[in-house]
Amino acid sequence: MDRTSTPEPVPSQPGPSGPALRTVAVVGLGTMGTGIAEVLARAGREVIGIDVSETAAAHAHRALEAATARAVRRERITEEERRAVLARFRTSHELEAAADADLVIEVVPENYALKHEVFTALDAIVRPAAILATGTNALSVTRLAADSARPERVLGLHFFNPAPAMRLVEVVSSVLTAPAAVTAVTELARELGKEPVAVGDRPGFVADGLLFGYLNQAAAMYESRYATREDIDAAMRLGCGLPMGPLALLDLIGVDTARTVLEAMYTASRDRLHAPAPILGQLAEAGLTGRKSGRGFYTYEAPDSAVVVPDERTPDAGARGGGEAREVRAVGVAGSGTMASGIAEVFAKAGYAVVLAARSAEKAEAAKARIAKSLTRSVEKGRLTPAEREAALAAITPAGSLDAFAEVDLAVEAVAEDLAVKQQLFAALDKVCKPGAVLATTTSSLPVVACARATSRPRDVIGMHFFNPAPAMKLVEVVRTVLTGDDVHATVRAVCARVRKHPVDCGDRAGFIVNALLFPYLNNAIKMVQEHYATLDDIDAAMKLGGGYPMGPFELLDVVGLDVSLAIEKVLHREFRDPGLAPAPLLEHLVAAGCLGRKTGRGFREYARR
């Protein structure tokens, strides 16, 4: 799947006696097959592209010519090397052209009957020592092997799209696969400049096994009208640093393809999180399969276009909220930790007068000192001028009690993630803050309405979930309860615009958008390790290289903190009552043992003590 953009791999050079698996046939010259053929030809292999469609074969030739021409212009290869690459690629409409291949890679559509037909025909064509590889990411490699005349020579070789750019290759062995065959294709993958990850045979393997569950939940979230498609995608891009939002990615992959993969995953796991969201079936049956058809979750300029055009589901920016924003000049921030300091810094840099209240004057002064250091770093990096630093610092007034919030227009709490603590604080804010002040909680998992009910003015209470570090992260989840006033919602969105944050609207339920999609994915990664399906390192590598994630799931879990992660998992499980959301026992065991991640020196990995 197209996840991110990375540098083109450097072609490997043949050894003195020539490369192993010298001649490779690629059956199926769609986008993936064409990309794989390019990678192989540029790495010195003789490549036979096979497709029943003359159009597909001609397109593959044109694509290779264009790709190599770009490489020459960018001075990555010479014109002589380009001619050699093109000379190593030939096409045919007949499977018999694979007769002399050392390796055949099948990348025809995800249909078992079609793949079985191809493998049966190849059994009678290729040499006895040839290896047959399927590019499936959803169908059973074991079944294909068992139905083959040479089960020990059949395995999976799952490239990611675009194949020339994406470094991950999953090497899939069944219980029937000979180790020598696995070794040969693993070495080939390395020679292609790829990072091979060895996995067993189950639908989705590692990367797609984790990715498609997440995509399915995003589709279900949109289907329930919890949030708009634009807000869901923006939340995951800005909140998690992903290259694409989940609904845009589903359109790129193909809604029908995603449904097929999820059906296979659900058949194997019986996990309701893998049961395809009904909207996937509805879109697929209607022919709205994504970019390739010109319409899926979004509408595109034309089939196969990446240009999104407005449609009847495109939100009207001016219609959001439905209320008139209240004036906000002064902001109170309650708390003295990292998040409170970061939020206070954001407001001060935007020109608001900020009151930073902590449990003591000393804690408040310490928080302001931490902000001063952060602002100094921004000056050193050229993000702020010295004058802007001084102006921001001057805008912050530290205070040792909430009484200082008497004149603020917006009060934002950023205290411990404990409902009783937050309710007590909101009760205090209710008494201190003037009528008309907006009261906001930064909770990431607790019910906002429970904070609202602790006050006599629940319509003035809303969620403003900033992400850490607040000065750098652009996303704010704006969480309305059933009691929140339209003007309060409009006020917070206006404030977000002034502080240059991107607001996304969501309702008051566990996890909001980001955590509700992120933490089940993290939990499923833990289950993979718990079940001994893959290692920590392989899973982290798969998601970074195959999914374009900035961090692997176990890197992220150790950064977030395993105790924090467990608490969020429990909240999600309690809210939605889905067995698939129950925290993985391995996570519970590590937390019970005090292995909480980087902050304790040990989580899923061990860290050097500072």
How many whole angstroms separate alpha carbon 585 and alpha carbon 587?
5
Residue located via tokens 């958008």: 513
User: Which listed residue (46, 191, 477, 555) is catalytic?
Assistant: 477
Q: Considering the candidates 148, 216, 444, 523, report the single residue annotated as catalytic.
A: 444
Annotated active-site residue 477? The verdict is: yes
Residue of 8, 230, 445, 465 with catalytic role? 465
Phi, psi of 198 (to 5 degrees): -85, 125
Rounded to whole angstroms, what are the CA distances from 552 to 205, 366, 468, 548, 559? 16, 34, 18, 10, 11
Active site residue 523: no
Alpha-carbon distance values, 14 to 42, 45, 98, 99 (Å): 11, 9, 22, 22
In contact, 45 and 22? CB cutoff 8 Å: yes
- C-alpha dist (Å) from residue 243 to 1, 280, 474, 547: 12, 22, 15, 9
Structural tokens at position 340 = 């409170």
CA-based angle 75:80:83, to the nearest 5? 105
Beta bridge partners of 478: 464, 505
Helix, strand, coil abundance in the chain, percent, nearest 5: 50, 15, 35
93 catalytic? Reply is: no
Instruction: Please check whether residue 214 is in contact with residue 549, taking contact to mean a CB–CB distance below 8 angstroms.
Output: no
* CA proximity to 196, closest of 225, 156, 224: 156
589 is catalytic: no
Q: Residue 410 in contact with residue 332, Cβ under 8 Å? A: yes
Alpha-carbon span 534 to 523, nearest angstrom: 14
* 121 within 8 A of 52, measured Cβ to Cβ: no
Are 366 and 336 in contact, with CB atoms under 8 Å apart?
Answer: yes
Q: Which of 137, 341, 445, 515 is catalytic?
A: 515
The backbone torsions φ and ψ at residue 465, rounded to the nearest 5 degrees and listed phi first, read: -90, 100
Burial status of residue 434 (CB atoms within 10 A of its CB: 0-12, 13-18, 19 or more): exposed
Closest residue by Cα to residue 519 from 571, 592, 586, 461: 571
Cα 91 to chain center, whole Å? 36
Check: CB of residue 484 under 8 Å from CB of residue 449: no
Residues annotated catalytic, as ranges: 444, 465, 477, 515
